[in-house]
Structure 1
Amino acid sequence: MAFLDWVLHPTELWAAFWYVMRHAPPDEKTVKLQVSGDMKRCYDFLEMTSRSFAAVIQELNPKLRDAICLFYLILRGLDTIEDDMTIPGAKKRDLLEKFHTVIYEDGWSFKESGPDEKDALLLVEFSVVVSEFKRLPVEFQDIIADITRRMGSGMAKYTRARVETLDDYNEYCHYVAGLVGHGLSRLFSESGLEDKSVGENLDLANSMGLFLQKTNITRDINEDVLDGRCFWPSAIWSKYADSEDTLIAKSNRERGIEGLNEMCTNALSHIPDVMEYLSSIHEPTVFKFCAIPQSMAIATIALCYNNGRVLDDNVKIRKGEALKLIAASTSLDSVKCIFYRYLEEIERKNEPSNPMYEQVRKIVDKAKKDIAGSLKGGPPVDFTKEYLIIIVFFVAIFVFIYQYNTSGL
């Protein structure tokens, strides 16, 4: 199946080839060879925990690179505690609410994670993160500690509270992702690489985080329900099922897909803010760092929309597709073209029988119109349709075979 994916999507194979060539070891310019000791171990943890985006973080401007690496690891540690269902509620809340203080405690470590926590080792060796965090400029430390405090408090609240209303949903996503957007934006401005306004217009930064978090929550419904939790607001899912288990049941598939489409529609509402935020980012490595996750998110929403497989499994975009998006998300116009094409895909999947049809149509039409109006050449035209590349590929093979046979070799 993986081989067939590469054959049917040759531009993704090309993107994968260039990604491997660019990041193939040994590379004397990689961050790992420029740091040593505890910071080197932090970059090891970055690669273990952030997976696809480790390389992008390491390519950030040196003024931001270490700070964002450590910011990520601190929040990953916080998130690992929140996700661990083996930690008793009272103890978990205490850990979450005090986590912003342990990042200053030399030697702090946590060895009580459940056996299934994949990032438990980060907490076991968290002292290396503490050591390097305290080396950062005080201004960076203050921003990271403030976001950690506010995020931990919000997470602690939702160990007791349930996501019931749409306001709850927006608040929860703000705590676990919108605040990340706040912190990053403040770091961008504090570094001097971006204008002060980036760190001040936090509503847009919040929307950046909400778009990513809502995409993940929408996609992860099957895994979450099987784990005994659900982050879809009951204000949405209760329209389509009488329980979370029923929501993903095959016997309720048609209604479950309608609920899925409403969740996708809710996420799509953040696109105008995403475009506005990205238009304010000018430093190339910062732009790429911000743009890649957003490109992944719109691709994921397009995959999830009207797709019953989401209720059965954790669907993901193809690896080659992800590498292609990483390679393409280098400029505002390129990202706008990416969004435009995935909006077209959603448009094709939007059926009149879908209760969300009119709402999705309006969101997509407006977003496409705004994007097309801001591009110099108007609506993007894809001159590299993959079926044309496939035809050229097979024609080239045919010509080669024909010439080989007629040459008498």
Structure 2
Amino acid sequence: MNTRKSNDLQIELNYAESLNYCLNILPNVSRSFAIGIQFLSGELRKSVLVGYLLCRIIDTVEDDLSLSILQKEHYLKKFIDCFKSFEECTAYTKIAENLSGDKNHIQLVANSHKVFHLYFSLSQTTQLTLTRWVCEMAKGMISFIKRYPNGIRLATLDEYKEYCYYVAGTVGHLLTDLWKEYGSRVSINVFNKLQSNASVFGEALQTVNILKDIAWDAKQENSIYIPSDILKKYGVSHEAILNENLKIESQNAVREILNLAYNDIDIAINYLKNIPAFNFRIRFFCIFPLFLAIATLKKIENSENILTPEKVIKVSRSEVKKIKIYSILCALSNFFIDRSVKKIF
């Protein structure tokens, strides 16, 4: 075998290894997104896979409690540099040695060069899409890390929405750009409709996650996302949000964000209804996490334990299976969507 053929074979083997790694690590860092991504096919599946894992890498850095603010800022900036050359990606893997927390997330950072290996194999258009929105997310994270060096304490609803845009609205735009590139029958008219609600689609899911983890975030990650101006309306502060003596007042404040979540969910449902039924796989990818979010939201609304650190609000496996079935039906036609939302949840 000549040298050129040998090199080509090595590149092909490395690519296969990188793809296999990314597919295998995915369910370990997000079971729900793994279900949606596995439902996609071809280059779109690979593009969404890479996009999700890139976002998970910077989320791991942002959430790490053992890192200083300067370290987080430095590592996020170095991550942005990885989009410029593969050499930067190889060096970036070393930061995993300084991370603490979930071992699967740390392992992902340690193998981030494999994610970027796939990234550089994508079309130029896809690379530009991922670079634009993932870097937008990273820059937003840097902004909030510097703004709140002692732990996030959001002040206003506008600031809450700004935060949700950076960590989730960007994902909505990233996905929408990919639907345009790979989705059959996603015309300019359809794309424009999707684009107008793309940010809210991502933000709706983020708000549900925030509501689900209020106590956990406050206790374990030193982050409180319920805006202080809303808490003050009910005589509560960030410091007292988990105070048992102010439980009713805190729950009333949280209800305002709950109402925001329902409003955003309605917009997100309109977003997915605008995706042509021909794009069955894309519709399922969007519907499944949205239905999971709605099911979670109902549990939050009916729970008295959302401000109790020891209590975990979770959708059961049997419920997830049911939601998956209904998501498949709704992916076929908009007719089933409203009925499913009303009857199931």
TM-score of the two chains, using structure 2 as the length reference: 0.84
For 1:88 and 1:257, the matched residues in 2 are separated by: 32
Q: Deviations over 1:16-54 (max 9, x none)?
A: xxxxxxxxxxxxxxxxxxx93210111111121121331
Q: Deviations over 1:60-87 (max 9, x none)?
A: 0313011111111101001111111211
State the shift of 1:242 in Å.
3.5
State the shift of 1:195 in Å.
2.8
Task: In structure 2, give the amino acid aligned to 1:270.
Answer: D
Q: Which has the larger radius of gyration?
A: 1
8 Å Cα contact 2:32-2:289 kept in structure 1: no
Match of 1:317 in 2: 315
8 Å Cα contact 1:67-1:140 kept in structure 2: yes
8 Å Cα contact 2:236-2:250 kept in structure 1: no
Q: Does 1:195 align with 2:175?
A: no
Task: In structure 2, give the amino acid aligned to 1:63.
Answer: E
Match of 2:327 in 1: 329
Cα distance 1:152–1:218, how it changes in 2: closer, same or farther (>3 A)?
same
For 1:127 and 1:284, the matched residues in 2 are separated by: 32
Match of 1:89 in 2: 69
8 Å Cα contact 1:77-1:123 kept in structure 2: yes
Divergent runs of 4+, >4 A = none
Cα distance 1:197–1:153, how it changes in 2: closer, same or farther (>3 A)?
farther
Match of 1:390 in 2: none
Q: Deviations over 1:170-219 (max 9, x none)?
A: 11000000110000000110114333345444230111111101111111
Match of 2:6 in 1: none
Task: In structure 1, give the amino acid aligned to 2:164.
Answer: C
Among 95, 120, 125, the residue aligned to 1:139: 125
Match of 1:121 in 2: 107
State the shift of 1:57 in Å.
0.6
Match of 2:263 in 1: 269
Q: Which runs of 5+ in 2 are unaligned?
A: 1-14, 148-152
Aligned length: 309
Identical residues among aligned pairs (%):
28
Match of 1:377 in 2: none
Match of 2:150 in 1: none
8 Å Cα contact 2:228-2:237 kept in structure 1: no
8 Å Cα contact 1:78-1:96 kept in structure 2: yes
Q: Does 1:225 align with 2:218?
A: yes
Task: In structure 1, give the amino acid aligned to 2:299.
Answer: L
Among 299, 303, 306, the residue aligned to 1:303: 299
Q: Does 1:171 align with 2:173?
A: no
Task: In structure 2, give the amino acid aligned to 1:338.
Answer: S
8 Å Cα contact 1:178-1:206 kept in structure 2: yes
CA RMSD of the aligned region, Å? 1.9
For 1:335 and 1:112, the matched residues in 2 are separated by: 46
Q: Deviations over 1:134-157 (max 9, x none)?
A: 001111001001111111111111
Q: Greater helix percent: which structure?
A: 2
For 2:189 and 2:73, the matched residues in 1 are separated by: 34
For 2:61 and 2:294, the matched residues in 1 are separated by: 28
Task: In structure 2, give the amino acid aligned to 1:216.
Answer: N
For 2:267 and 2:252, the matched residues in 1 are separated by: 25
Cα distance 1:89–1:199, how it changes in 2: closer, same or farther (>3 A)?
farther
Match of 1:28 in 2: none
Cα distance 1:82–1:199, how it changes in 2: closer, same or farther (>3 A)?
farther
Match of 1:391 in 2: none
8 Å Cα contact 1:240-1:247 kept in structure 2: no
Write the mapping of 1:243-254 to structure 2, written as runs, cut at 5 A.
243-254=237-248
For 2:146 and 2:317, the matched residues in 1 are separated by: 37
TM-score of the two chains, using structure 1 as the length reference: 0.71
8 Å Cα contact 1:84-1:113 kept in structure 2: no
For 2:71 and 2:40, the matched residues in 1 are separated by: 36
Among 120, 127, 130, the residue aligned to 2:116: 130
8 Å Cα contact 1:150-1:175 kept in structure 2: yes
Q: Which runs of 5+ in 1 are unaligned?
A: 1-34, 346-409
